Amino acid sequence: MKILHTSDWHVGKVLKGQSRSDEHKAVLAGVIEIARAEQPDLVIVAGDLYDTAAPSSEATRLVTRALTALRRTGADVVAIGGNHDNGPALDALRPWADAAGITLRGGVRENPDEHIIDGTTAGGERWRLAALPFLSQRYAVRALEMYELTAAETNQTYADHLGRVLGRLTEGFTEPDRVHLVTAHLTVTGAATGGGERDAHTVLGYAVPATVFPATAHYVALGHLHRAQRVAGPCPVRYSGSPLAVDFGEQENIPSVTMVEVTASTAARVREVPVTAASALRTVRGTLAQLAEIEAPDAWLRVYVREQPRAGLREEVQELLPRALEIRIDPELLAAPGSGARIAQRSGRSPRELFADYLDSRGHADEGVRELFDELFEEVDH
């Protein structure tokens, strides 16, 4: 059978005030075109369909249309909720999804069998997929209780809980003539972050070892980390990565989807198919004079300016580089010896004096900013 594995769409993403809506439309159109060309038997979307738990109507329309279009290629489609998604809200769409022939699992259900999806390809290959949406620490304990896997002890870790839940979901991975698959939205120990993930859900407390997946699985399709990568484990474990760079920390990632070919008796063969529709993200550095000489790339830009801070500097940079979304004073310049950094003593100092000390510590000599602060402070104080 052939599988298209994708994840971390983050539809609705706003980058430094810039909507990515048009880019998302182009990216998902590209994913759909890959599905039409590759003709997979199964499409797995491994979480974070949305960037926020309260997506706009436009974002919801884009996601539902993309899932519908993927289903119309003839593939079975399974999508799970990620940490950015609202699991109950996704589950509220299940009547629509069921009618469209799409399997949608937003959150963990009381009946573990609802997370086991069986299918057969047009060529007769039987498959079983264990689909586990993102679980917070609290809901990992609740899932154990729902599945009656004995009471969760207070000294057990998140990895212990996830291992037991996955063990319950994959206990039927024993038939030799069936392809066994897992999809989940989580962090595996040793995997590399993409650079734009939500820190609270990628820290070590949320990381699980690859040994939570059974050796009998033919392929594990993961979401959550935005860099496409294979993870060492007892079976083939892989992140598809995001099909577009979500934040500037991901500018070196290569957006793609993962294609997998596997049978019940042969190992999974994996390849990446690039998705190039979104604008690239790039970082540039220099003085204003140097930035003026740059041939601006066709990308959203993060600019580190090697100039002392002053009023109007941002506007000057944006005039030179209209696609600059993030503009900062170069950290290397601020950290340089002689930058004027000194600690302001708060006791007995007026707000004006403290602000003046702050400006001095940042090498900011523009009197106009001090005068503006005085005006604003006068308004607030009276």
223-260 pLDDT per residue, tens? 999 999 999 999 999 999 999 999 998 998 999 999 99
Q: State the residue range of the domain holding 349.
A: 342-381
Same domain, residue pair 116 and 203: yes
Q: Residue 125's closest CA among 25, 17, 3, 23?
A: 3
Domain end, chosen from 254, 274, 294, is at: 274
Residue 137 in tokens: 């620490």
343 pLDDT exceeds 60? Answer: no
pLDDT band at 369 (very low <50, low <70, confident <90, very high): confident
Domain end, chosen from 248, 274, 300, is at: 274
pLDDT for 139: 65
Same domain, residue pair 60 and 202: yes
Higher pLDDT, 342 or 263: 263
3-class DSSP assignment, residue 122: coil
Same domain, residue pair 231 and 307: no
Same domain, residue pair 318 and 354: no
Neighbours of 111 (CB within 10 A): 9
pLDDT for 182: 98
pLDDT for 344: 43
Stretch among 86-90, 96-100, 176-180, 342-346 having the lowest mean pLDDT? 342-346
2 vs 6: CA distance, rounded Å = 13
Q: Residue 69's closest CA among 122, 28, 9, 121?
A: 28
Same domain, residue pair 183 and 112: yes
pLDDT of 166-212, one tens digit each? Answer: 999 999 999 999 999 999 999 999 888 766 665 545 555 678 999 99
Same domain, residue pair 156 and 259: yes
141 pLDDT exceeds 70? Answer: no
Same domain, residue pair 292 and 352: no
Q: What domain count does the chain have?
A: 3
Same domain, residue pair 69 and 172: yes
**Using CB atoms within 10 A of its CB, is residue 109 exposed (0-12), middle (13-18) or buried (19+)?**
middle
30 vs 39: CA distance, rounded Å = 14
Higher pLDDT, 336 or 182: 182
Share of the chain above pLDDT 90, in %: 68
Rounded to two decimals, what is the model's pTM?
A: 0.83
Same domain, residue pair 259 and 348: no
pLDDT of 126-138, one tens digit each? Answer: 999 999 999 887 6
What's the half-sphere exposure (Cβ side, CA atoms, 13 Å) at 180? 19
Neighbours of 199 (CB within 10 A): 8
Domain end, chosen from 239, 257, 274, is at: 274
pLDDT for 337: 52
Same domain, residue pair 193 and 70: yes
3-class DSSP assignment, residue 318: helix
Same domain, residue pair 202 and 294: no
pLDDT for 363: 63
Mean pLDDT of the chain: 88
- CATH number assigned to the domain comprising residue 49: 3.60.21.10
pLDDT band at 373 (very low <50, low <70, confident <90, very high): confident
Alpha helix (H) residue ranges in the chain: 21-38, 57-72, 87-92, 94-100, 137-146, 158-169, 288-293, 313-320, 331-334, 351-361, 367-381
314 pLDDT exceeds 70? Answer: yes
Same domain, residue pair 161 and 263: yes
Per the CB < 8 A criterion, the answer to whether 62 and 11 are in contact is yes
pLDDT for 341: 43
pLDDT of 12-25, one tens digit each? Answer: 999 999 999 999 99
Q: Residue 136's closest CA among 76, 195, 198?
A: 198
